[in-house]
Amino acid sequence: MDLEQLAALRTPEGSAALDAADRVAGGDPLAAAMALRAAGVPAGLAATALTQAELRRRAVGKFGPTAATMFFTRAGLEQATRAVVARRRAHRLRAAGVATLADLGCGLGADALAAAREGIRVYGVEADPLTAVLAEANARAAGLAELFTVECGDATAFDVTRVAAVFCDPARRRAGTGRRIFDPNSYSPPWDFVTGLVERMPYTVVKVAPGIDHALIPSGAEAEWVSVDGDLVEATLWAGPLAETPRRATVVKEGPPVNASGSKGAPCYHPAGGESVHQLTGSGALEASVGPVRRFLYDPDPAVVRAHLVAELAIELDASLADPTIAYLYADQATSTPYARCLEVTDVLPFSLKRLRALLRERRVGRVEILKRGSALEPERLRRDLRLAGDQSASLVLTRVAGAPTVLVCRPTA
Ligand SMILES: C[S@@+](CC[C@H](N)C(=O)[O-])C[C@H]1O[C@@H](n2cnc3c(N)ncnc32)[C@H](O)[C@@H]1O
């Protein structure tokens, strides 16, 4: 979409085309285009409206029913923070007393809108002219145009003395190709600007890739890793007075999904406020003790692993590692925890395809899930090579125990 196409979408004719596109999106694209053409919508406007309707459908998972009133670009939607995470971050900023915020590189405004909903006055800066106009449109659609304003420009030139706090979520994809950027020096705005912000502004919050190297975390800042339903979604750096602990793992479990319109095939979303949130904190510098494989294996949530809080979790579970370099924990008791999945270990074998195949045959195991840490084996290849047959199922854990390649045969705990 370009600015001209967006302007056409925002006319009464465009708005009617969008309504018509919403009704037919999600099915056969050719049939949808023909339906709009048959309703008298010009071809160009029909194509723009259908793309927008398709993006809105896709956005429901991140934004819930509000997606139906928002404007998206493909790249903007991919980079947007999901509502549950943005809401929690905004809430924490408000609770810290932040009343004015600059969102430096605000994209379509997912974070800025969440902050505005908390009553924070947000000044968004966005370099891409189309994205800036869409962010403004999203503010208006949400009834938040007075609290969230957008200027199109370079965030590095924004006068941060105008605000109490800054938030920056640098672009980690190349404009044009959309390819992921792994080197923080190639982020936009660049990493040295981001770290400079932390030095200049006491209240600075930065969203970063969850794979961030711990060595890049500014000293004194809190680094928080967030997972949603087991998927690691991002890391956030909280600087100055906002830092409460060196490392935090936030594990969000969203409530049961709801069908957006109640009709068959409609996208699903998790209602706001239905989530449960669990937080593990610590220094990130502790080392867990090492011992033998024990009866129960815990596979920690990726947020716990990335936050280097496995040792803190081991203390909570009275557990130990079986290899100092591998983040599986073992304990004598099965303890219910939101921070890890627990399996009961039934067999421990030095890795041998022949022995494993024989054991699974004997147990009539026909279905396996394969977990791995510290193993170079390819799960799908192993599954084929096992030539499984039978009506039983098992979990196989490919790992190392005291350095030796090992397979653990496991079953779920009650
Ligand atoms: C990751 S996205 C932000 C997404 C946003 N937090 C959200 O959840 O919707 C980063 C945005 O920063 C913008 N950007 C990159 N460099 C910039 C700069 N120097 N000044 C202003 N905006 C910039 C990009 O165009 C992109 O829209």
Residue 143 is predicted with a pLDDT of 97
Q: What are phi and psi of 256, to 5 degrees?
A: -65, 140
Residue 173 is predicted with a pLDDT of 84
Residue 126 CA to ligand 1 center (angstroms) comes to: 6
Which atom of ligand 1 is nearest to 207's Cα? Answer: 6
Higher pLDDT, 92 or 38: 92
**Domain layout of the chain by residue ranges:** 3-58, 76-280, 283-412
User: What does each C-alpha distance from 311 to 102, 124, 318, 320 come to in angstroms?
Assistant: 37, 40, 10, 8
Q: What are phi and psi of 72, to 5 degrees?
A: -135, 155
Q: What fold is seen in the domain 76-280?
A: Rossmann fold (3.40.50)
Distance, in Å, from the CA atom of 343 to the CA atom of 347, rounded to the nearest integer, reads: 12
Residue 104 CA to ligand 1 center (angstroms) comes to: 7
Q: Which of 166, 187, 188 to mutate to test the pocket of ligand 1 (most atoms within 8 A of CB)?
A: 188
Which atom of ligand 1 is nearest to 154's Cα? Answer: 20
> Which of the four pLDDT bands, split at 50, 70 and 90, describes residue 316?
very high
CATH class in words for 283-412: alpha beta
Asked if the domains 76-280 and 283-412 are classified in one and the same CATH topology, the answer is no
pLDDT digits (tens, 9 = 90+) for 104-131: 999 999 999 999 999 999 999 999 999 9
Taking each helix axis as running N to C, give the angle between helix 110-117 and helix 129-141, from 0 to 180 degrees, rounded to the nearest 10: 30
Which atom of ligand 1 is nearest to 107's Cα? Answer: 27
> Ligand 1, atom 7: nearest CA belongs to which residue?
80
Contact by Cβ (8 Å): 130, 6: yes
Residue 344 in this model has a pLDDT that exceeds 90: yes
Residue 256 is predicted with a pLDDT of 82
382 Cβ contact partners less than 8 Å away, ≥ 6 residues apart: 353, 370, 396, 398
Q: Which of 106, 111, 133, 148 to mutate to test the pocket of ligand 1 (most atoms within 8 A of CB)?
A: 106
**Average per-residue pLDDT for the chain:** 95
pTM for the predicted model, two decimal places = 0.93
96 Cβ contact partners less than 8 Å away, ≥ 6 residues apart: 203, 241, 242
Residue 414 in this model has a pLDDT that exceeds 80: no
> Ligand 1, atom 8: nearest CA belongs to which residue?
80
Residue 179 is predicted with a pLDDT of 84
Distance, in Å, from the CA atom of 98 to the CA atom of 92, rounded to the nearest integer, reads: 9
In degrees to the nearest 10, what's the CA dihedral of 16, 17, 23, 26?
-150
Residue 257 is predicted with a pLDDT of 86
Residue 166 CA to ligand 1 center (angstroms) comes to: 13
pLDDT digits (tens, 9 = 90+) for 241-293: 999 999 999 999 997 888 887 777 788 888 888 889 999 999 999 999 999 99
Query: In the chain, pLDDT over 90 holds for what percent of residues?
Result: 85
Q: Which residues pair with 349 in a beta bridge?
A: 407
Residue 134 is predicted with a pLDDT of 97
Residue 206 in this model has a pLDDT that exceeds 80: yes
Residue 73 CA to ligand 1 center (angstroms) comes to: 13
